[in-house]
Amino acid sequence: MKSFNKKISKSGSITLPASLRREYGLAEGEKFKIEVDKDGTILLHRTQGHCLFCGAEEEIVTHAGRQVCAGCISMMAAKARGAEYADEFDSTGR
């Protein structure tokens, strides 16, 4: 588990470190759910994001902290199998 010491600003916000945002592909405008345990532990859960490759916001799958849409996953799978038609996909993977 990674640990960062951060201070709450006057407006009540906390900035996530750039290294963390880069590692997990977090971008401006992404949404999180905040949960507070009985012992006061605060947890952030990513609830909405966008595809790392095409920017789509539908049919998102999270793998290794990165979010990729189903269309791009299909395109990558086809290319990995060496499918001749893989190059025919557009940027949405369809």
Contact in structure between 53 and 72 (CB atoms under 8 Å):
yes
What is the rounded average pLDDT of the residues 53-60? 88
What pLDDT, on a 0 to 100 scale, did the predictor assign at position 27?
79
What is the rounded average pLDDT of the residues 13-31? 87
What is the rounded average pLDDT of the residues 53-76? 88
pLDDT at residue 93 greater than cutoff 70: no
Q: What is the band of 16 on the pLDDT scale with cuts at 50, 70, 90?
A: very high
Sequence-ordered list of residues with C-beta below 8 angstroms from that of 59, at least 6 positions apart, any chain: 69, 70, 71
DSSP states along 4-20: ------TTS--PPPHHH
> What's the maximum distance between 2 C-alpha atoms anywhere in the chain?
56
Buried-exposed string 65-79: b where 16+ CB fall within 10 A, e elsewhere? eebbbbbbbbbeebe
Domain residue ranges of the chain, discontinuous segments joined by +: 18-88
